[in-house]
Chains A and B, each alone.
Chain A
Amino acid sequence: MQYNSRNAGTYAVLDLKGDVDLSCSPDARKQILQCLEAGRHLLIDLSAVSYIDSSGVASLVEGYQTAKKKNLRFGLVGVSSAAMGVLQLARLDKVFPIHASVEERMSADG
């Protein structure tokens, strides 16, 4: 897995790439929580995720819950079909706010 963080308006955007599995999900979790600890609204870009396992999904759930607690905005953008398949299995596709892109999310925020 590779990751990269960038800014888009009031959001921090975390791009995750490659396979998000048990070997790297602890890193992904750390990145997600760090952004939120810093008080940033967070979007996670999953467009380049080729695989995500339940430990990766667990990190997303933890991010979502942490953001809620801190009153920060949180969302997934550009979810790849591989990642979407897993989110659907976990019945989380209706739980996470999901948008096609960062831009679409920002215009949805208004």
Chain B
Amino acid sequence: MSSTANVYALLAKGEAYSLEDQLELLADVTQSFAESLEIEATLRNAIEKFMQYLDAEAASIFLLDTDTVADNPDLVCRACAGPVDISGLRLPGDTGIIGKTITSRCCQIVRDVSKDPDFAKQVDADTGFVTRSILCTPLIVRQKCIGALELINKRGGDGLFDDQDRHLLGALASSAALAIHNARMADRLVEQERMRKELELAREIQMDLLPAPGRDGFPVVGMNVPAREVSGDFYDFLRRDDGLIYFSLADVSGKGMNAALLMAKVSSLLHHLAREISDPGELLTRVNVELCESISHGMFVTIVAGFLDPASGRIDLANAGHQPPLLHHGDGSFEEIVATAPPLGVLAGCQFPVTTLKLNDSSLYLFTDGVTESLDENNRPLAVDGFIELVRAAEYGPAARRLQGIVAELRKPAVSQRDDITLMVIETDGDRRPDAMKTQQIFALHFRAEPERLGPVRALVKRAAQSFGCNETLADKLVIAVNEACMNVIQHAYHGDGSGEVSLEVRTNGTQVIFRLEDQADPIDLKCVQPRDLDELRPGGLGVHFIREIMDHCEMGHLEKRRGNYLEMRKAID
């Protein structure tokens, strides 16, 4: 027979309990509390023991109902033992001896309830139980009273609870209060985890609402990076049967779940209507009417929506309260396409004027304020000018890659993202370069990644540089940069084993010379390619510094369609 069982055996015989017995019980109960986060079962088990041990007829634990936010929360019986099951019983928070215990935060001993005006007779009347004496102690954790532990009708002796009972119950109550507190914390964690999972799921569903990327060269490319798990931004595009391409980019006011749900509604409505309606003004008018009827107070949607005729490059668009789209012309200049109408969901009867433009060799950028309100390292918003700088820096290459480049800049640790970031670019050929018409290839060659090939490559680069009018000094510098770039491929991408091929293409657009190197090596870790501090005198690591020092612009990355890396370097020429 275990020692704890011993205690109960003694009790059953009605013998008085010793200090050791008390400690035994306390240890036993504390242990079972510590082991269990199933608080209801543990409390039921504990209250049974308390009742037996303290030789009472009935016992119960009442907790203040944390779900009621009233000043005076209800008391709910969470566990009980004895002839009457009152678990679940709900009483006003100030009821009876328990209410008094909680309010006073002091243990109450009532020897004869019939003489105590605080005693609530109603429970006895309802249950048929006859209460004579009560011992009730508050459950306090972190200075906060969360409920009370109550014993009713001492059986043995003179039928009255004494100070020894009070001390013991006080000790048991501390342990029970802590266990309840821990269990609640655990529940909260579980709940948070469940919410997190739900948000994750919501995000997945939401991501599924965004269109799949079009095939290479598709004129519309979009990207969305939510600030939270779910986003209030969206973009959409689809090619209609008649060849027109519908596109939209929008920002729902607010963030989080309600914005996400509204986003789902608006994007679905538009997606459906855009197959039938080819006038963006009418499209927005229809959706606006629907939203004004159903939208929650204070919510609205800013949006640019339109249609591209890919054959002619004609775009019709309408703007409901959104940031003006930005047209990046082939000559490098930028133009804001300003058109104003109120956001959707604000004014039921309003019209949305249509703007028509020809794309030609320009690119149209649509973006949300999450882009322009990103903060730079000095805590200043990026603003439209900052965005223009990013577009300029990522001027060349396929649209998807350019957007990735811009988003990567916005997500640098120094830049803090405050809102969802959503971007779209539209151009008649999603894979063209704005200056492609003007760039002219000087030469292209492939060579084995061997050091011995570097001499002839240098000779070719020098001759090419001279052919488009570079002076001697500049030509020599270009040779140095290209040579170092080739060396890096040989030594680092191919690890000096001479196994792979390198391709070098030299182009010019009249104002810049562009060198593009590609290899077929495994993707390199781009973070490792950094110029080093020159003050530190050591033999290696100069090449990247040379390239950065000589060239105006360098971009490197992994090739998209096959294994390999690229490095594109630009230098202005006179």
Which A residues lie at the B interface, using CB under 8 A?
19, 21-23, 51, 53-55, 57-59, 61-62, 65, 82, 85-86, 89-91, 95
Partner of B537, one of A23, A51, A54, A95: A95
A68 to chain B, nearest CB (A): 10
Whole-angstrom CA separation of A59 from B550 in the bound complex: 22
Is the pair A22, B451 in contact by a Cβ cutoff of 8 Å?
Answer: yes
Is the pair B454, A22 in contact by a Cβ cutoff of 8 Å?
Answer: yes
Contacts of B476 in A (CB 8 A): 82, 85
Is the pair B451, A59 in contact by a Cβ cutoff of 8 Å?
Answer: no
Is the pair A54, B477 in contact by a Cβ cutoff of 8 Å?
Answer: no
Q: Closest 10 interchain pairs by CB?
A: A58-B539, A23-B451, A22-B451, A54-B542, A54-B543, A61-B539, A91-B534, A62-B539, A23-B452, A90-B542
B272 at the A interface (CB under 8 A): no
B203 at the A interface (CB under 8 A): no
For chain B, residues 431 to 458, give those with C-beta under 8 angstroms from any C-beta of chain A: 450-452, 454-455, 458
B483 at the A interface (CB under 8 A): yes
Count of A-B contacts with CB under 8 A?
A: 63
B490 at the A interface (CB under 8 A): yes
For chain B, residues 503 to 550, give those with C-beta under 8 angstroms from any C-beta of chain A: 534, 537-540, 542-543, 545-546, 549-550
For chain B, residues 475 to 517, give those with C-beta under 8 angstroms from any C-beta of chain A: 476-477, 479-480, 483-484, 487, 490-491
Is the pair A54, B455 in contact by a Cβ cutoff of 8 Å?
Answer: no
Whole-angstrom CA separation of A31 from B184 in the bound complex: 75
B134 to chain A, nearest CB (A): 88
Whole-angstrom CA separation of A59 from B540 in the bound complex: 9
B490: nearest residue on chain A (CB-CB)?
A: A22
B487: nearest residue on chain A (CB-CB)?
A: A22
Whole-angstrom CA separation of A53 from B480 in the bound complex: 7
Whole-angstrom CA separation of A56 from B140 in the bound complex: 77
B533 to chain A, nearest CB (A): 10
Partner of A61, one of B450, B484, B490, B537: B537
Which B residues lie at the A interface, using CB under 8 A?
450-452, 454-455, 458, 473, 476-477, 479-480, 483-484, 487, 490-491, 534, 537-540, 542-543, 545-546, 549-550
Is the pair B477, A85 in contact by a Cβ cutoff of 8 Å?
Answer: yes
List 8 other contacts, CB 8 Å, given A53-B483, A58-B539: A21-B454, A23-B455, A51-B483, A58-B542, A61-B537, A61-B538, A61-B539, A90-B546
With A53-B487, A95-B537 known as contacts, the answer to whether A19 contacts B455 (CB < 8 A) is yes
Contacts of B539 in A (CB 8 A): 58-59, 61-62, 65
B542 to chain A, nearest CB (A): 4
A40 to chain B, nearest CB (A): 20
Is the pair B451, A21 in contact by a Cβ cutoff of 8 Å?
Answer: yes
B453: nearest residue on chain A (CB-CB)?
A: A23
Most B Cβ at <10 Å: residue of A21, A57, A65, A85: A21
B538: nearest residue on chain A (CB-CB)?
A: A61
Contacts of B454 in A (CB 8 A): 21-23, 53
Whole-angstrom CA separation of A22 from B453 in the bound complex: 10
Is the pair A55, B487 in contact by a Cβ cutoff of 8 Å?
Answer: yes
Is the pair B455, A89 in contact by a Cβ cutoff of 8 Å?
Answer: no
20 A–B contacts from the bound complex (CB under 8 Å):
A19-B455, A21-B454, A21-B483, A22-B451, A22-B490, A23-B451, A23-B454, A23-B455, A51-B458, A53-B480, A54-B487, A54-B542, A58-B539, A58-B542, A61-B537, A65-B539, A82-B476, A85-B473, A89-B545, A89-B546
Is the pair B491, A54 in contact by a Cβ cutoff of 8 Å?
Answer: no
Is the pair B542, A57 in contact by a Cβ cutoff of 8 Å?
Answer: yes
Contacts of A91 in B (CB 8 A): 534
Contacts of A54 in B (CB 8 A): 484, 487, 540, 542-543, 546
Is the pair B491, A22 in contact by a Cβ cutoff of 8 Å?
Answer: yes
Contacts of B550 in A (CB 8 A): 89
A55: nearest residue on chain B (CB-CB)?
A: B487
B473 to chain A, nearest CB (A): 8
B473: nearest residue on chain A (CB-CB)?
A: A85
Contacts of A55 in B (CB 8 A): 487
Whole-angstrom CA separation of A91 from B532 in the bound complex: 12
Contacts of B538 in A (CB 8 A): 61
Contacts of B455 in A (CB 8 A): 19, 21, 23
Contacts of B479 in A (CB 8 A): 51
Whole-angstrom CA separation of A22 from B489 in the bound complex: 12
Contacts of A19 in B (CB 8 A): 455, 458
Contacts of B487 in A (CB 8 A): 21-22, 53-55
B428 to chain A, nearest CB (A): 42
Most B Cβ at <10 Å: residue of A54, A59, A91: A54
Whole-angstrom CA separation of A6 from B491 in the bound complex: 33
Contacts of B549 in A (CB 8 A): 89
B460 to chain A, nearest CB (A): 14
B552 to chain A, nearest CB (A): 15
Most B Cβ at <10 Å: residue of A51, A53, A62: A53
Contacts of A65 in B (CB 8 A): 537, 539
B446 to chain A, nearest CB (A): 18
Is the pair A85, B451 in contact by a Cβ cutoff of 8 Å?
Answer: no
